[in-house]
């Protein structure tokens, strides 16, 4: 589906943020108040482009590895769910194309075909190769199902936040999130079906092992702003050279967000991940998940 059928044809309004500024990483640091309004707006735009890239990366990974490996085993998951996962795969391919095309439309120089696959996601080739290998074996590494559920619920929450703030955000980005959210609801339901079919029949020792692997993955790549967040920051400083004198403070404060409960809860929380966290509450293997996801605290 071409991008024009998903978003309006109007020109991008660069006077507006593409994402709620108060939900960006830098907004949780003391130095946020040192930025003027144009700098805040531009940071929110860059952050939105990063989120688009992150979404495209994750959904391409699912479409190319996890989902085909799952639906090729209908004898395990059942033919009805296998058929739903084929639809899931097609929708993820469409979504990733939407987000990539949006970035290229907004910033064709940064996101040109020649610039490589990713701009704000600096993971090296070895890391990506390992991720693809593990993702291609979801029956061997079933913690991928939890990552799917967690991220799909987060996508819905981010889309709702953009819709709630629609009157102050760039309209094309709001339209994109609205269309994306429409499919994510089904995806969450199918994630829950996979947990029932694949995760729950495993012995408790195996569930505990993979819960720890899942927790370690989240703690290393999804909860501490130490890679992409720094790349987005450097892009902002590159456009506003007067911020260079404060760059050390920005970097230190972004790194310090690992200790910010408010920041962690803006990523993953009961409000953002209601179904996932409810299952964490119910299952003993997730008793210590708060060590890895500080936004989760077991009741």
pLDDT digits (tens, 9 = 90+) for 229-280: 899 999 999 999 999 999 999 999 999 999 999 999 999 999 999 999 999 9
**28 with 266: CB under 8 angstroms?**
yes
pLDDT digits (tens, 9 = 90+) for 209-233: 999 999 998 988 888 887 888 999 9
Distance CA 219, CA 251 (A): 19
In this structure, the number of other CB atoms found within 10 A of the CB of residue 121 comes to 17
Distance CA 134, CA 140 (A): 8
Mean pLDDT computed over 90-98: 95
In a domain, 6, yes or no: no
What pLDDT score does 5 carry? 39
CA-wise closest residue to 236 among 228, 55, 221: 228
In a domain, 131, yes or no: yes
Give the residue numbers spanning the domain of 152. Answer: 28-291
pLDDT, the chain, mean: 91
pLDDT > 70: percent of the chain: 94
In a domain, 3, yes or no: no
In a domain, 10, yes or no: no
pTM value is 0.92
In a domain, 259, yes or no: yes
Domain of 136, CATH number, reads 1.10.620.20
> For the chain, how many structural domains are there in total?
1
């Amino acid at each position: 589906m071409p991008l024009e059928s998903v978003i309006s044809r109007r020109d991008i309004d660069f006077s507006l943020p593409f994402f709620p500024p108060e939900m960006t990483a830098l907004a949780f640091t003391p130095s946020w108040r040192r930025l003027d309004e144009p700098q805040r707006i531009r940071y929110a735009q860059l952050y939105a482009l990063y989120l688009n890239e992150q979404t495209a990366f994750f959904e391409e990974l699912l479409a190319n590895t996890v989902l085909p490996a799952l639906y090729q085993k209908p004898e395990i998951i059942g033919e009805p769910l296998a058929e739903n996962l084929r639809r899931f795969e097609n929708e993820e391919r469409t979504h990733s194309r939407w987000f990539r095309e949006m970035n290229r439309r907004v910033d064709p120089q940064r996101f040109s075909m020649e610039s490589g696959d990713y701009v704000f996601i600096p993971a090296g080739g070895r890391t990506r190769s390992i991720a693809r290998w593990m993702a291609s074996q979801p029956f061997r590494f079933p913690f991928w199902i939890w990552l799917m559920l967690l991220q799909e619920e987060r996508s819905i929450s981010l889309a709702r936040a953009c819709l709630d703030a629609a009157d102050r955000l760039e309209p094309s980005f709001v339209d994109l999130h609205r269309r994306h959210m429409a499919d994510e609801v089904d995806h969450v339901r199918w994630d829950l079906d996979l947990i029932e079919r694949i995760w729950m029949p495993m012995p408790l020792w195996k569930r505990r092992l993979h819960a720890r692997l899942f927790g370690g993955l989240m703690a290393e790549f999804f909860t501490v702003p130490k890679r992409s967040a720094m790349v987005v920051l450097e892009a902002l400083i590159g456009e506003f050279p007067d911020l260079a004198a404060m760059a050390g403070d920005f970097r230190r404060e972004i790194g310090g967000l690992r200790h910010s409960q408010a920041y962690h809860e803006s990523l993953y929380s009961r409000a953002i991940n209601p179904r996932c966290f409810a299952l964490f509450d119910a299952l003993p293997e997730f008793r210590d998940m708060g060590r890895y996801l500080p936004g989760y605290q077991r009741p």
